[in-house]
């Protein structure tokens, strides 16, 4: 009597989940949906090369300086990300950066206004300009490229007028200077890190419970835990590095506050969903009842606001405002940071966190080449090459999504 064949062993649930997760990852890669992976790998490569060429690059002192150096560009880039999500562009952010800081400096230093009021006036200057751009763009159907290019010239002229014949205003008010110059004790940094990690862990638990309560299939537990562990390691690692120098910079906390706030807005609110809808297909969004013009005006208003806020942060770091504030590579770096970070130029795809990762790439290149005493021409060529690579990845990813029907 022959024995019955042994039943086929089914993979363990954990093995099935890992296999399913790898399959999903492979499908995303083959369809061009690679997310932030290229910029993270690029950042690791850049840091490795510069550390090899100059061991001081990854020192706590230099990395702390790097976080302060990228704060103003990162803040401006947050607004650029929102505009790019619409599939539009804002070329005026450099001039708004300079004008917002000039208004703040004149009101605080020359007019004697209270510092908080002067800062608020500078920021609201950017809000008013962005609203004006959005109105012209939507009301007269003028391409945003043209409207904001005109703004670039107009608001730079306004900056020169506001500064007057003096040309340079030095900032000595401690309330302004500490925006980029204040560092918190390492103990405060560790407390913040623990609180943030705890909040992230709670958020993962709540989202899984909500999906279960809504009858939706749960996301992979192993994948969620792995993402949480990676983020926690990054947070604690960054905190340890900053604690090895002067502590956590206030400028970094302000930048992260903006990024986290706008990430919540874009991913968890109706307004954020409408931004993606308009950027993905404006006509379909209009037919769905979305006020496309209102969304566009609001986004350009936010872009102007962030540009002025970035200008004030830059003025705090340099302790002065002058004719050259907002000029040079401010505009190009802000746009490059958003694109390098992974925000699509074609609209509808991206995340506010790309402002941080892209700014880190731009800032790391500038910082590393400065440590190597490289000339400015090399810096611009390297940054341009990285930007071209990022745009190429975006274009290839878009083609892959089109082939996959995504």
Q: In this structure, what CATH number is given to the domain that contains residue 65?
A: 1.10.3470
Question: In this structure, what token pair is assigned to residue 9?
Answer: 């062993």
Contact 32, 392 (CB under 8 A): no
Dist CA 17 CA 59 (whole Å): 39
Q: Is 286 a domain residue? A: yes
The CA–CA distances, whole Å, from 87 to 61, 83, 305, 319 equal 39, 7, 19, 35
Q: How far, in Å, CA of 353 to CA of 209, rounded?
A: 25
Whether 261 is in a domain gets the answer yes
Q: Which residues contact 288 (CB under 8 A, 6 or more apart)?
A: 277
**Domain-located, residue 82:** yes
In total, how many domains does the chain have?
Answer: 1
249 φ, ψ (degrees, to nearest 5): -75, 140
Residue 90 lies in a domain: yes
* Residue range of the domain that includes 59: 37-185+247-393
Stretch (H or E) spanning 169: strand 168-170
Task: Please give the Cα distance from 60 to 383 (Å, whole number).
Answer: 24
Residue at 109 is within a domain: yes
Does any domain span residue 2?
A: no
| Six token digits for residue 358 | 């892209």
Going residue by residue through the chain, which has 406 residues, state the pLDDT in tens, using 9 for 90 and above: 455 555 555 555 556 555 655 555 555 554 445 567 778 888 899 999 999 999 999 999 999 999 999 999 999 999 999 999 999 999 999 999 999 999 999 999 999 999 999 999 999 999 999 999 999 999 999 999 999 999 999 999 999 999 998 889 999 999 999 999 999 999 999 999 999 999 999 988 888 888 877 777 777 777 788 888 999 999 999 999 999 999 999 999 999 999 999 999 999 999 999 999 999 999 999 999 999 999 999 999 999 999 999 999 999 999 999 999 999 889 989 999 999 888 988 888 899 999 999 999 999 999 999 999 888 888 888 888 887 887 787 677 666 666 665 5
Q: What is the rounded distance in angstroms from the CA atom of residue 135 to the CA atom of residue 368?
A: 41
Element (H or E) spanning 29, and its range?
helix 13-30
């Amino acid at each position: 009597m022959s024995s019955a064949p042994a039943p086929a062993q089914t993979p363990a649930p954990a093995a099935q989940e890992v296999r399913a997760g790898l399959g999903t990852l492979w499908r995303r890669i083959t369809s061009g949906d690679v997310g932030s992976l290229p910029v993270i790998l690029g950042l690791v490569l850049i840091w490795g090369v510069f550390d090899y060429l100059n061991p001081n690059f990854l020192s706590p002192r230099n990395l702390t300086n790097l976080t302060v150096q990228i704060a103003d560009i990162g803040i401006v880039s947050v607004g650029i990300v929102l505009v790019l999500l619409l599939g539009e562009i804002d070329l005026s952010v450099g001039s708004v950066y300079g004008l917002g800081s000039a208004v703040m400096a004149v009101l605080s230093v020359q007019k004697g206004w209270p510092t908080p009021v002067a800062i608020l006036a500078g920021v609201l200057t950017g809000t008013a300009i962005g609203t004006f751009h959005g109105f012209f763009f939507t009301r007269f159907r003028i391409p945003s490229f043209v409207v904001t290019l005109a703004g670039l010239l107009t608001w730079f002229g306004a900056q020169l007028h506001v500064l007057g014949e003096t040309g340079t205003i030095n900032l000595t008010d401690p309330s302004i200077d500490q925006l980029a110059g204040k560092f918190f004790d390492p103990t405060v940094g560790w407390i913040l890190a623990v609180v943030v990690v705890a909040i992230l862990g709670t958020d993962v638990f709540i989202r899984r419970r909500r999906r279960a309560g809504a009858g939706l299939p749960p996301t992979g537990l192993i994948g969620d835990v792995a993402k949480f562990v990676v983020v926690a390691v990054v947070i604690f690692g960054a905190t340890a590095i900053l604690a090895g120098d002067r502590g956590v910079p206030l400028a970094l906390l302000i930048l992260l506050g903006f990024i986290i706030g706008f990430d919540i807005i874009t991913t968890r609110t109706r307004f954020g969903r409408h931004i993606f809808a308009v950027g993905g297909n404006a006509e379909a969004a209009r037919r769905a009842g979305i006020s496309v013009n209102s969304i566009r005006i609001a986004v350009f208003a936010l872009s102007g606001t962030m540009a002025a806020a970035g200008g004030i942060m830059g003025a705090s770091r340099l302790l002065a405002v002058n004719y050259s504030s907002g000029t040079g590579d401010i505009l190009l770096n802000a746009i490059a940071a958003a694109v390098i970070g992974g925000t699509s130029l074609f609209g509808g795809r991206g995340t506010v966190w790309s402002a941080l990762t892209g700014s880190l790439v731009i800032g790391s290149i500038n910082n590393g080449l400065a440590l190597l005493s490289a000339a400015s021409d090399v810096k611009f060529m390297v940054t341009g090459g990285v930007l071209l690579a990022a745009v190429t990845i975006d274009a290839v990813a878009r083609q892959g999504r089109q082939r996959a029907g995504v």
